[in-house]
Amino acid sequence: MIKKLFLYFDGFSAHRALRFMPRIVQCFLLVLWITTIPEHRLFWGNDNVLFRFGMSDSMLENAFLRLYYQPEIYAWVYFTHPILLIAGLRNARFSWIPRFLGWFTGMLLYQAAPGVLGWGAVLLLQFAFLLIPVHYETDSSARKWFNSLSIAAMRIQTILVVSIIAIFMWGSAQWQKGETVYYLIHQPSEVRSFLYEASDGFGWLWKMITYSLLGMTTCLAASLLFRPTRYYSTVALLVIGSIAVLSFNNLAHGFAVITLALPWIDARESYS
């Protein structure tokens, strides 16, 4: 049993998803940064509308909240962030340096304006952190171990996130009554205009979609654990994420759901 677990874990070091995952996640973060360009001064500049004073409890929180206390340094953080993301696209020995710095600057921007980037950016940054040490086709045994650890951690995170979302959905009266999607599309700040304009007159459709999402999310965590159903679960995550990208004004929501599927894609058959 221990030997099988070791071989299973060791097989992750050659997981072919590692070839494209760091690049996809970095590109998602880069696209999110581009969407903030028109109004970035309102969020992070010296006269930003979200500025607040205060002191956090821990040293780590204070490090990430630095733009709260010193908004005059925002330009150094904001404009170096995309450069670091682009530098982290390479699959090279020292790519972990720009990836780490890109993750850190991303955390600074998020903590200074969490309402702008949303929960999806948090998940993307978590995956970006787990992908920092990845080096595909490396000869280093230590880097191979980090490759395996990254895939294992991302798969565990996917299971946890999907499970927590399912528990939340079942604890919400709106989901149980089939009203969540109906109320969501009536918020023009959240969804794209074509959905908002078509929000009336399709009550049965929004209820059907709500119950479908509730059922799919409930089954996702378990179905990802079993090889026969894993393919369908992965496709479901990709489809839901793609629809979210087209439907929500904040692209981070859809990007985050797509990212949840990535650790399960294109594994070698013997280790999938």
pLDDT digits (tens, 9 = 90+) for 71-102: 778 888 899 999 999 999 988 888 899 999 99
For the chain, the domain total comes to 1
For residue 9, pLDDT beyond 70: no
Bigger pLDDT: 38 or 47? 38
Closest to 67 measured CA to CA, from 117, 110, 119:
110
Measure Cα distances from 144 to 12, 15, 68, 140, 151 in Å: 8, 10, 38, 6, 11
Distance CA(272)–CA(265), nearest Å, equals: 9
For residue 4, pLDDT beyond 80: no
Residue 184 pLDDT? 74
Residue 63 pLDDT? 67
Residue 62 pLDDT? 65
For residue 229, pLDDT beyond 50: yes
* Helix H or strand E segment including 48: none
Residue 197 pLDDT? 67
The two three-digit tokens of residue 158, written as one number: 């996917």
* Helix H or strand E segment including 241: helix 227-247
Query: Using CB atoms within 10 A of its CB, is residue 140 exposed (0-12), middle (13-18) or buried (19+)?
Result: exposed
Q: How confident is the model at residue 103 (pLDDT cuts 50, 70, 90)?
A: very high
Determine contact, residues 91/136, Cβ cutoff 8 Å: yes
For residue 18, pLDDT beyond 60: yes
pTM of the model as a whole: 0.83
Residue 24 pLDDT? 92
Query: Mapping DSSP to helix (H, G, I), strand (E, B) and coil, where does residue 160 land?
Result: helix
Beta-carbon count within 10 A of 139 CB? 7
Residue 164 pLDDT? 92
Residue 270 pLDDT? 40
Report how far apart the first and last C-alpha atoms of the chain are (Å, whole number): 17
DSSP label at residue 185: T
The two three-digit tokens of residue 182, written as one number: 């109906």
Residue 260 pLDDT? 92
Identify the weakest region by mean pLDDT among 85-89, 90-94, 129-133, 162-166.
90-94
Residue 271 pLDDT? 38
Domain with 151, as residue range(s), is 2-271
Please give the sequence-ordered ranges of beta strands (E in DSSP) within the chain, or none if there are none.
none
Residue 269 pLDDT? 44
Q: How confident is the model at residue 193 (pLDDT cuts 50, 70, 90)?
A: low
- The stretch 200-226 carries a mean pLDDT of 82
Residue 25 pLDDT? 93
Determine contact, residues 87/118, Cβ cutoff 8 Å: no
